[in-house]
A and B are shown apart, each in its own frame.
Chain A
Amino acid sequence: RKEVEQDPGPFNVPEGATVAFNCTYSNSASQSFFWYRQDCRKEPKLLMSVYSSGNEDGRFTAQLNRASQYISLLIRDSKLSDSATYLCVVNREGSNYKLTFGKGTLLTVNP
């Protein structure tokens, strides 16, 4: 089983749509969880950290279910600028930021 597994995608949605990304992780020792976005041939950029109680940042909502080892990201009212690859990322506490990345899900928001 892959350490971090994401929807393979790609997702093509119209502007204004709501889109959800799903991710599962296999290592129960994972302690920190993140969503990154990556534009083509660019570095990963932190979108948001994911907390146990769930958290929201504007149009973005992240959820974590430790029992199911499942993480989600919801984007509401999607914009053209949201087009990117969304990476689910986990880290084991005490592992000196040895981040484990999912392969990512490509999102294209169309006008």
Chain B
Amino acid sequence: EPEVTQTPSHQVTQMGQEVILHCVPISNHLYFYWYRQILGQKVEFLVSFYNNEISEKSEIFDDQFSVERPDGSNFTLKIRSTKLEDSAMYFCASSREGTFRGNTIYFGEGSWLTVV
């Protein structure tokens, strides 16, 4: 079964440092997403990306965050000047199409970020 792969699985960083989380979406997928889940909280949408630009973002996704597709396979989330409250599991996801029409969104296993 195709899968979304994420690295690192766990990262510990000092407050104020920059972090880049890496994702390799499924190869024929066109839409890419980042979600996050703070421990004990619900999964929250951050951003969707299509055709090399952000198509939608949440209020959480402020100037501290950015996404990039630097080549044909990777999709990255950069978090600048990390804060303690950025500690969370970050899930990358991808889908062939942008909306549900018998089409599935696939989640990666997540990158657990701990800011200390």
Contact = CB atoms under 8 A, between A and B. Distances in A.
Contact of B105 (A31, A38, A97): A97
B42 A101 contact: yes
A46 B45 CA distance: 16
A97 B95 contact: yes
A87 interface: yes
Interface of A is mostly: loop
B42 A99 contact: no
A96 B43 contact: no
A98 interface: yes
A22 interface: no
Nearest to A3: B42
A37 to B, nearest CB: 12
Contact of A49 (B48, B100, B107): B100
Interface of B is mostly: strand
Contacts of B35: 99
B100 A103 contact: no
B75 interface: no
Interface in A76-99: 87, 91, 93-99
B111 to A, nearest CB: 11
A45 interface: yes
B52 interface: no
Interface in A30-49: 31-32, 38, 41-46, 49
B47 to A, nearest CB: 9
B42 A96 contact: no
Contact of B100 (A32, A38, A41): A32
A101 B99 contact: no
Interface of B: 31, 33, 35, 41-45, 48, 50, 55-56, 58, 89, 91, 93, 95, 98-100, 104-105, 107-110, 112
Interface of A: 31-32, 38, 41-46, 49, 87, 91, 93-104
17 contacts: A38-B43, A41-B89, A42-B110, A43-B107, A44-B43, A44-B91, A45-B107, A87-B43, A93-B100, A96-B48, A96-B98, A97-B48, A97-B105, A98-B48, A99-B35, A99-B43, A101-B43
